[in-house]
Amino acid sequence: MSRLPVPLILGAVLSSVFLAMALLSFVWTPHDVEQLVIANRLQPASGEFLLGTDQFGRDLLSMLMVGARVSLAVALVAVGIGVVIGVPLGLAAAATRGSLLDELIMRGNDLIFAFPSLVIAILITAVFGPSAFNAIIAIGIFNIPVFARVARGGALSLWTLDYILAARVAGKGKARISAEHILPNIANLLIVQATIQFSLGILAEAALSYVGLSVQPPTPSWGRMLSDAQTMIYTHPMLAVLPGLAIVLMVLGLNLMGDGLRDMLDPRLRRVRQ
Amino acid sequence: MLRFILGRLLSLSLSLIVASLVIFTVIEVIPGDPAAFMLGLNADEATVQALRADLGLDGSKAERYLTWIAGMVQGDFGTSYTYRVPVAELVADRLWVSLPLAILSLILSTAIAFPVGLLAAANRGRAADYGIMGGTQLGIAIPNFWFGMLLVLVFAVNLRWFSAGGFPGWEEPLQALKSLLLPSVALALPQAAILARVMRSALIETLAQDYMRTARAKGLSRRQALLRHALRNALIPVLTIIGLQFSFLLAGAIIIENVFFLPGLGRLIFQGITQRDLVVVESVTMLLVFAVIVVTFLVDIAYAIADPRLRRRA
């Protein structure tokens, strides 16, 4: 590990910038994002409004900062749901390979994979009411099979190894082996997958909030900023360009970090990103 | 092979049953009475009762589920409450926008991804490869609806080559195709980025095979070996991804149709949601899920025909 891969550094820097913006927005933003000051509407970039204002007089930079917070929070919790539920399922499936449980878990996973996730997410948020919470659930559900599959795949190859056999001979149960010996050894795989799902979650949240099915006004989000900007695209294109750029840079940062981490943590693993 | 198809068919029907149950349950758990939900707060009691009878809400849940499924199987998707026409008619109209859009995007995405992936694989480790891989990273990170907005900004607002949205109908085929062009480019490019990466790594994997060395040893040039032997063998994983992308294209089309104001299935779902027309939402969602599951099934079968090793695994 003498030299860190360039994509990893680039990705980490990009992601940290947005993370810092999001964290900073909790305690400070240049302007209040929930207050509409019509006198300030559609200001160009200036010393007071670094990136200008939107048609309701809100400061664009402040909105982007709060938007980063929303986007990161939704994606992070959605990944959390996938890890907390999916990984134990995958470990259990691997530990009881070929059993009814394994079969059930894997078939269930195939099912969720076959679903067009965005369609179901739209259905869920539409019926249960649009909110950040429902967006998290809708995105998180589809993370479960992903992590279950990665955990199972990684665990299956470990179960054949001698040191696992030694642990069994020493009298450890399957659950304990999974937690103490398997889990730490598939952590690499899970971390890489988590960064991928994290960036996919940000894209999904942006799509949901673009169609008005995620966080509700007055809280700004990147997707909603884009849909608000759509009517202004003829006169004020920057309103549509900036939030999209934020999404792209954030996702790009996470993807580069994921690629870099994968190469660094496991050079043997040259799997195709799908 | 027959066993494989039967097995897949079984899991296909299982998927469809579970999908329909999920959609039915989601619609069922709407707080309060669906008829009251659809009519809003100010509806009078008699109207609500009439709609209840109309929707068959007085029957048991199991009865209603079976009626819905039986209807779907026979092509009766129920009657839209707001449009007062059979949902099947609405769907048939909208399909003429969504389907051409999805197909056009798929063609575009493949047409872009193939040469790009091939170029990257042939120049592996050189500048062209790094450039292409960097470009695809960017392509993957771009949300297709934002890309659509950028296309509108450049080609409709600034250059005025295209209209910013809307659909003139197929009576004017050229105009119709033209209005689908920007949306399908918006849909296709991010997909092409993924596909090009798959194409590249599939080719690189094939190039490392022994038979490729044989091909070179018998005197084929690098180029000939690549085009004659590697390409064909690399196609299998690429085809699987193309099949999977159909699902993304359908779902992506829902959002893109909103960007370009196209009257497709996606717009229909959103109109159904805002107008609380549950019959439309339920049936159109089921139809989309059905399409995706069937395509996945067909890809599985095609895959097994191309690669006999897979038949045993199932």
Burial (CB count <10 Å: 0-12, 13-18, 19+), residue A28: exposed
Over range B233-250, report the average pLDDT.
Answer: 79
Does residue A138 sit at the B interface (CB-CB below 8 Å)?
Answer: no
Question: Residue A270: is its pLDDT beyond 60?
Answer: no
Residue A3 binned pLDDT confidence (cut-offs 50, 70, 90): low
Determine whether the interchain pair A211/B258 forms a contact, defined as Cβ–Cβ distance below 8 Å: yes
In terms of CA atoms, which chain A residue is nearest residue B20? A115
Nearest CA in chain A to B250: A116
Please tell me the distance from the alpha carbon of residue A65 to that of residue B138, in angstroms, as a whole number: 22
Instruction: Give A-chain residues touching B248 at CB under 8 angstroms.
Output: 116
**What residues of A are in contact with residue B251 (Cβ under 8 Å)?**
116-119
Size of chain B, expressed as the number of residues it contains? 314
Interface test with B, best of A103, A112, A122, A225 (most B CBs within 10 A): A122
Measured between CB atoms, does B275 come within 8 Å of chain A? no
Cβ of residue A199 closer than 8 Å to a chain B Cβ: yes
CB contact under 8 A, A247 and B15: no
Task: Determine the distance in angstroms separating the CA of B194 from the nearest CA of chain A, rounded to an integer.
Answer: 7
Cα–Cα distance measured from residue A173 to residue A229, given in angstroms and rounded to the nearest whole number: 58
Residue A201's identity, in one-letter code, is G
Q: Which chain B residue has its CA at the smallest distance from A235's CA?
A: B157
For residue B161, the surrounding DSSP H or E stretch is: none
Q: Using CB atoms, which residue from A115, A206, A255 is nearest to B19?
A: A115
Q: What is the pLDDT of residues A125-146, one digit of tens each?
A: 777 888 889 899 989 988 998 9
pLDDT > 90 in chain B, percent: 17
Q: Which H or E run contains A270? A: none
**Residue A71: closest CA among A212, A250, A256, A245:** A250
- Residue B166 burial (10 A CB sphere; 0-12, 13-18, 19+): exposed
Average pLDDT over residues B69-85: 84
Say how many residues make up chain A: 274
- Picking from A122, A203, A274, the nearest residue to B143 by CB comes out as A203
pLDDT per residue as tens digits for the range B45-62: 777 777 777 777 777 788
**B273 contacts: CB under 8 Å, gap ≥ 6:** A122, A126, B281
Domain B94-278+287-310 class in CATH: mainly alpha
**pLDDT tens per residue, range A9-18:** 999 999 999 9
Distance CA(A43)–CA(A37), nearest Å, equals: 11
Given a cut of 90, is residue A86 above it in pLDDT? yes
Whether pTM > 0.90 for this model: the answer is no
**Pick among A119, A203, A225, A259 to test the B interface (most B CBs inside 10 A):** A119
Q: What is the mean pLDDT of residues B289-298?
A: 84
Task: Give pLDDT tens digits for A185-207.
Answer: 899 889 989 998 999 999 999 99
Task: Spell out the domain ranges in chain B.
Answer: 2-73, 94-278+287-310
Alpha helices in B123-230 (DSSP H): 127-141, 144-151, 173-207, 210-217, 222-225
pLDDT in tens, B117-166: 999 988 888 899 999 999 999 999 999 999 999 999 999 888 888 877 88
Residue B307 pLDDT exceeds 90 = no
* Residue A89 reports pLDDT greater than 90: yes
Which pLDDT does position B72 carry in this prediction? 86
User: What is the band of A268 on the pLDDT scale with cuts at 50, 70, 90?
Assistant: low
Q: According to DSSP H, which parts of A115-217 are helical? A: 117-128, 132-141, 143-159, 162-169, 174-177, 183-210
Assembly ipTM? 0.85
pLDDT at residue number A112: 76
